[in-house]
Amino acid sequence: MKRHPFTVDLLHEMHRAAGQKTIDQVMRILSEHEDQREAVKQRLVVSKEIAENRFDITQLDHTRIFHLDQIRKICIDHRLRFLNSSYFKDGIPAEALNKIQQLERTHQTEISGFKIAAPSKAFALKNINDPLLFVPVSNGYYYLVHQWGKELSVWRKWLCWPVRNIGNFLVSCIVISIVFTMLIPSGELDRRVPMAKIIVFLFAFKSFFAAFLYSFYILGKRFSSNSWESPYFNS
């Protein structure tokens, strides 16, 4: 059918109006999504201690729920810090923000109390490589929201073993002293000095223990069992 030049195709106009409405809806959804994202970022920056978040436990992945004692052990073993996300200086990846928003939509709640387990260099600590983002569930349990970055070296756990606590430090000094004593030639010394090996071992142990402990504390360091939740640099 031939159209008059001054007529209007109502069907075309309706489709165009519907298309514009769809675009407006999409833009509104994107705007709301971005506002929610900024709100999440703000809560990460000013994160404070809270006891729990209101989650529907039945909808959480139970393989990602950990007790504080489990987190504490991992932090001590690998010499990590477990601090509020407000101290974290390396930036939160977009994928983590997406997971937080997804959790909030699923559980119809606003999540806060974010904490991160990571090496101390990843935090902007107060004056004195593999982050894990947690949020509190309840009763000392935390939910692992996201993990990013490179995996920790398999050697880190063993390299940090001597500084987990004073007991490990003592054992390490004993082992080093034994190795040092074994490396010293003892033929002539044993003939001249009774119990020479024991004397050398005790001297070596005292020297290594004092030197290492002094160096450790002069650098402002503390054992992992005492520093894993400390926001201070010299700990």
How do residues 186-232 score in pLDDT, each as one tens digit? 766 667 777 778 888 898 999 988 888 888 777 767 788 777 776 65
Domain housing 36: 10-157
Q: Are residues 142 and 215 in the same domain?
A: no
Q: Are residues 129 and 219 in the same domain?
A: no
Domain annotation covers residue 3: no
Q: Are residues 142 and 184 in the same domain?
A: no
Q: Are residues 65 and 118 in the same domain?
A: yes
Position 11 scores a pLDDT of 58
Q: Are residues 147 and 187 in the same domain?
A: no
CA 153/CA 18 separation, integer angstroms: 56
pLDDT in tens, 16-74: 655 555 665 555 655 566 777 788 888 888 777 777 888 988 999 999 999 999 998 88
User: In which band, very low, low, confident or very high, does the pLDDT at 173 lie, cut at 50, 70 and 90?
Assistant: very high
Domain annotation covers residue 97: yes
- Total domains in the chain come to 2
Q: Are residues 73 and 185 in the same domain?
A: no
Q: Are residues 22 and 123 in the same domain?
A: yes
Domain annotation covers residue 2: no
Domain annotation covers residue 234: no
- Among the candidates 157, 185, 209, a domain finishes at 157
Domain annotation covers residue 153: yes
CA 222/CA 21 separation, integer angstroms: 61
- What's the pTM? 0.64
Q: Are residues 151 and 126 in the same domain?
A: yes
pLDDT in tens, 81-126: 888 888 887 778 888 888 999 998 899 988 888 998 888 777 755 5
Q: Are residues 147 and 111 in the same domain?
A: yes
Average pLDDT of the chain?
Answer: 78
Q: Are residues 87 and 149 in the same domain?
A: yes
| Rg, Å, the chain Cα set | 30
Structure tokens at 70: 């489990």
Q: Are residues 131 and 223 in the same domain?
A: no
Q: Are residues 105 and 141 in the same domain?
A: yes
- Among the candidates 120, 135, 157, a domain finishes at 157
- Among the candidates 157, 174, 197, a domain finishes at 157
